[in-house]
Structure 1
Amino acid sequence: MPIPVILDCDPGHDDAFTILLAAAHPAVELLAITTVAGNQTLEKTTLNARRVCSVAGISGVPIAAGRARPLHGPPRTAENIHGESGLDGPGFGSGEPAVPEDPRGALALVRDTLLAHPVPVTLVPTGPLTNIAVLLLAHPELTSRIDRIVLMGGSTDRGNTTPAAEFNILCDPEAADIVLRSGVPVTMFGLNATHQVRATPEVVDRIAALGTPLSGLCVDLLTYFASTYREVYGFDAPPLHDPLTVAHLIDPSLVSLVRAAVTVELTGTHTRGATVVDLHGVTGAPADVEVGMEVDTEGFWDLIVEAVRVLGGR
């Protein structure tokens, strides 16, 4: 049986590949896509989700917009990484995407989807956790309809937006705190894991060799992504963070996991948004979060290339 999934994202170059992987692989039943402000404003991330689904021929998956700002404090974006549109690089054209926006909004769409599905659903947030926190606060009765939350965010060591904090968690630390304390099982893929899956020139060549319009668009995305990661971080190839969540669902053997207590720093002057991961059990707190560690990078990229091949051949 495929795993029923709701993808909550802020496209974003790596989110775009997460959508492709979730839609392409038979092990995943992609029920809905919700968007949140993060890599760009909510208006732009929602448009980007619709654009990706339109060019990839992904239909029948409702897309709804969620929160435009965090629970507390001002919003932030990652324009320095993802560009003015949030998906700079390829030309999507100026026309309206074929895939529409669901008028219900994210909260109602997720509520309706959880209630309608016969088995509990896995939530896969790959952006700030605002939408998920709002769902848990507004509908605590629906936690029994959530099988688990598999998220991209945080790190076991350093951050990427501040020395201590990763972007998704820093955008809304209070939301992350609510999610991690919710009692719903959480699996976390942080920078320590996602930095292992970098889109090297060899990977880009594999995608380009598919020779389809979709593969060409993916090459354009990765080429732009590589340029900003090189400029901002000095990376020789950009890490494709977000799809590691879905890759894990498809093949759990791709990433080794450890159980640890994870808390979010909410007040630190220099450490707000940091995920404090107790790998050695020194706090005595319950080790209730699964944390991604070592990644089979070859297996990961095989899944990504195959997803682009499948969707590009439709």
Structure 2
Amino acid sequence: MVRRPLIIDCDPGVDDAIALLLALASPDEFDLLGITTVAGNVPLHLTQYNARRIGQLAQRWEVPIYAGCPRPILRAPVTAEHVHGQTGLDGATLPEPTQPLLPQHAVDFLIHQCKVAPAPITLATLGPLTNLAVALVQAPEIAQTIDHVVTMGGALGRGNVTPSAEFNLYADPHAARIVVEAGLNLTLIPLDVTHQVITTPERLAALESLGTPVGQAAAGLLRYYGQREGEGNGVAGAPLHDPCVIAYLLNPDLFSGRPMHLAIETDSPLCLGRTVANPHPTESTPANATILEAVHGDGVYRLLTERLARL
């Protein structure tokens, strides 16, 4: 099997942490070149620290971790401690990282890797798109060397931070617009999909029954997260937002979607960060993204539980 060169850009955050564990548990599929962090669910000093804590938990110390942009391109910072807790990873006791944060800026790392990697890179973006947008502004030629960008973000229906917008794209809508308009091979996984993958009590018990530090930590994080994210959205547990990106890269047959024309609202205060998706592209508004619409929730959770058992 040829391993996919992968960079994960994230803002851990509970669901980012579960996504990182799923990727770190899949070394046969992913050549994980690095993890880059951005301000989002919590400020940058916590997102980089949390990524290193997850690497320590998974005992994958060889994966380099870089800190990136500390704020959105234009708008004021938005965070989500009310969902993820003050540390971003409340609900579990995690090890202190021994792996140092590398000094190179995440944007510089992204640009360099896109230019020197022997094979085109896949980017899994799990938070605000600030790092990737700034990289595309500094070095627009890297758009031609990126194989695929898979993004968790947006909503075809109701948002989760405003009625119009999902958190990742609302947190930096101008960055999202730059990425969407860059001519990338882009797949978007919106809330409409991730809300189909719910951490039910039975699925949570399966993680706990692994009897490992990783299983216990994942269950603790998701239990805490579900009390806030689940209740806030009227569902029986935490939706698995960001892990859907990694699950899609591991098994795209679990998902279905179609090409659409995607645009990001950046001008309206009322609809800031709204994803406007047209399932009927035209010559003037051609398809520029594959937008997923459905997922096999049981299949995603089976994949997650099976992979985390390896750590």
TM-score, normalised with respect to structure 1: 0.95
Is this contact kept in 2: 1:22–1:29, CA < 8 A? Answer: no
- In 2, Cα distance between equivalents of 1:291 and 1:233: 22
Amino acid paired to 1:97:
P
Deviation at 1:105, TM superposition (A): 1.5
1:1-314 aligned at under 5 Å gives the runs 1-25=2-26, 26-92=28-94, 96-281=96-281, 285-311=285-311
- In 2, Cα distance between equivalents of 1:110 and 1:29: 15
Post-superposition CA distance 1:112-149 (Å, at most 9, x none): 32233210001111000000100100111222221111
Deviation at 1:268, TM superposition (A): 1.4
Is this contact kept in 1: 2:231–2:237, CA < 8 A? Answer: no
Is this contact kept in 2: 1:157–1:192, CA < 8 A? Answer: yes
- In 2, Cα distance between equivalents of 1:273 and 1:40: 19
Amino acid paired to 1:48:
N
Counterpart secondary structure, 2:303: helix
Post-superposition CA distance 1:42-61 (Å, at most 9, x none): 00111000001101111211
- In 1, Cα distance between equivalents of 2:171 and 2:269: 15
Amino acid paired to 1:85:
T
Sequence identity (%):
41
Structure 1 unaligned blocks of 5 or more: none
Amino acid paired to 2:87:
S
Deviation at 1:231, TM superposition (A): 4.3
- In 2, Cα distance between equivalents of 1:230 and 1:171: 20
Amino acid paired to 1:290:
T
- In 1, Cα distance between equivalents of 2:195 and 2:282: 26
1:271–1:98 distance in 2 versus 1, CA, 3 Å: same
Is this contact kept in 2: 1:129–1:176, CA < 8 A? Answer: yes
Is this contact kept in 2: 1:151–1:188, CA < 8 A? Answer: yes
- In 2, Cα distance between equivalents of 1:254 and 1:205: 22
- In 2, Cα distance between equivalents of 1:252 and 1:86: 29
Counterpart secondary structure, 1:184: coil
Counterpart secondary structure, 1:214: helix
1:197–1:231 distance in 2 versus 1, CA, 3 Å: closer
1:232–1:75 distance in 2 versus 1, CA, 3 Å: same
- In 2, Cα distance between equivalents of 1:230 and 1:141: 41
Deviates more, 1:266-275 or 1:5-14: 266-275
Is this contact kept in 2: 1:23–1:29, CA < 8 A? Answer: no
- In 1, Cα distance between equivalents of 2:222 and 2:80: 16
The Cα RMSD (Å) is 1.4
Deviates more, 1:276-285 or 1:9-18: 276-285
- In 2, Cα distance between equivalents of 1:304 and 1:153: 20
| Stretches of 4+ aligned residues off by more than 6 angstroms | none
- In 2, Cα distance between equivalents of 1:23 and 1:127: 18
Is this contact kept in 1: 2:37–2:67, CA < 8 A? Answer: yes
Deviation at 1:282, TM superposition (A): 7.3
Amino acid paired to 1:86:
G
1:92–1:174 distance in 2 versus 1, CA, 3 Å: same
